[in-house]
Structure 1
Amino acid sequence: MQRRTRAAVLAALTIGLTGGCADGKEAPSAGGSPSASPSVTASPVTPGPPWHDEVVAAPAGTTVGGKGTPCELPVTFSVPAKWKVEAVKGSAKFGEPRLGKALMLCEIDARPTGSTGFLRVWRVDGVAGGAQAHLKYFLDAYAPKTTDAVYRRVKAGTVDAVEASYPKKDGGTVHDRAIAISSLYGPIVLSLDTSDPVELLPAYQLVKQSARINRD
């Protein structure tokens, strides 16, 4: 587990969770790298690229993040049935699973369902600011060469969040995603690591629509 996780961290990994709607105006495009401070505004439901809000959420199977679950987190959310949920811990050999100040807390594996991809949950330590600053830091660490990212404020379930969509390295009309969800303990970043975002967009939508603050 540690060897595979470490390799994935050093390679590429990113997010996906989808679909609630928020009131306000459409978010402008933030050209250039995520390093350039993006202007984020609230966004309505947006079908098609880059958000694909029309994708229907997958049926809920397992709740992640609650007390007594494999990963106890500041937020809870649902994932499809049969996804394998596992807390991520460091080791003496490989150290903590980090991307800079971003520490991986939980990994949720889609492979038992026949799909390929991972949903990963991160905590970003020592970064000033709210969800936008934490998400920007994560993208800078995860995909430093990314260009043409766009950002928007959304509701992840009932929780305030900031979402990013940015082109995959190999192109394609469906972009990679990352989202920072505000919690009682600061923003938590969720990323969907998959070679085929189209296949896992329904799971992404489910996670995003079912997010709640964990008050346990």
Structure 2
Amino acid sequence: MRILVRGAVASALAAVVLTGCGGGKESSGKPAASPTRASSKAPGTASGAPAAEGGDTVGAAGSACPLPVAFTTADKWRAKPVKLDGTALDALAKQGPFTMACEIDAKPAGNIGYLRAWTSTAAKGGTPRAALEAFVTADKNASKAAYTEIKAGSLPATEVVYETYSKLLDESKQEHALAVITPSGAVVLHLGGMDTEEHKEMLPAYELAKKSLRLNSQ
């Protein structure tokens, strides 16, 4: 029954995915292939799952999505920039003071979900905690947020684990996000997923991005 529900939800989400903006909702079409992961476990991996194998570098000049930071994506995850087109759908790429700049699609690796990078120039000189709180509280469906001060790569960061309520699934699902402050403003990396099961399967990719995060000027 759960497989049927997940399939129906994936089809419904495909109908509302952003056009020309890369998608503000999780999209459909989960491939049959399983994600490729390394055999060793990464220390600190939130899920306890095997570490994700490294793929492309995102964020650096010449990459799919130039950003104030750079990080390594998991193998087979595919990045693409988010381009606003001046339509009402642009609202799906806004969350509080943040604008979605890049999304890294997990479907080629076998999962339904995205790791997304959001940027904001409004938080120059602010703190990672304040930036992340602004991002999370802008989602009216967010709850049970637990914040932690961490290092993302060598950068001071704040991380949050929280839940959002999905009307399509009629259940809450887990989310992870972290924020860092750069000379260009704040950057949030956010991992969603169609549901908590998908989310947990994708956590190694999020942990890889967190571990490899760095300023582009470095």
TM-score where L is the length of structure 2 = 0.71
> In the TM superposition, what is the alpha-carbon distance from 1:192 to its structure 2 partner?
1.0
Confirm or deny: 8 A CA contact 1:111 1:117 kept in the other structure: yes
CA distance in 1, matches of 2:64, 2:176: 24
Confirm or deny: 8 A CA contact 1:9 1:99 kept in the other structure: no
Alignment partner of 1:194 is 2:193: yes
> How does 1:59-138 map onto structure 2 within 5 Å?
59-94=53-88, 96=90, 97-127=93-123, 129-138=126-135
| Higher-strand-fraction structure | 2
Alpha carbons of structure 1 residues 122 and 20: separation in structure 2 relative to 1, 3 Å: farther
Which consecutive residues of structure 1, in runs of 5 or more, have no partner in the other structure?
Answer: 11-18, 22-44
User: What amino acid is aligned across from residue 197 of structure 1 in structure 2?
Assistant: H
Higher relative contact order (CA 8 A, sep 6+): 1
User: What amino acid is aligned across from residue 88 of structure 1 in structure 2?
Assistant: V
CA distance in 1, matches of 2:49, 2:185: 29
SS at match of 1:133: helix
Aligned-pair identity (%) = 33
> In the TM superposition, what is the alpha-carbon distance from 1:20 to its structure 2 partner?
9.1
Confirm or deny: 8 A CA contact 2:57 2:71 kept in the other structure: yes
| Large movers: runs of 4+ above 2 Å | 1-10, 52-57, 92-97, 124-129, 144-148, 167-172
TM-score where L is the length of structure 1 = 0.72
SS at match of 2:129: helix
Alignment partner of 1:158 is 2:154: yes
User: What amino acid is aligned across from residue 212 of structure 2 in structure 1?
Assistant: S
SS at match of 2:182: coil
> In the TM superposition, what is the alpha-carbon distance from 1:154 to its structure 2 partner?
0.6
**Partner of 1:180 in structure 2?**
179
- Cα deviation per residue 1:27-57 (whole Å; 9 max; x = unaligned)? xxxxxxxxxxxxxxxxxx5x8xxxx264442
SS at match of 1:200: helix
CA distance in 1, matches of 2:200, 2:74: 15
Confirm or deny: 8 A CA contact 2:20 2:83 kept in the other structure: no
- Cα deviation per residue 1:49-86 (whole Å; 9 max; x = unaligned)? xxx26444201011101110110111110111221111
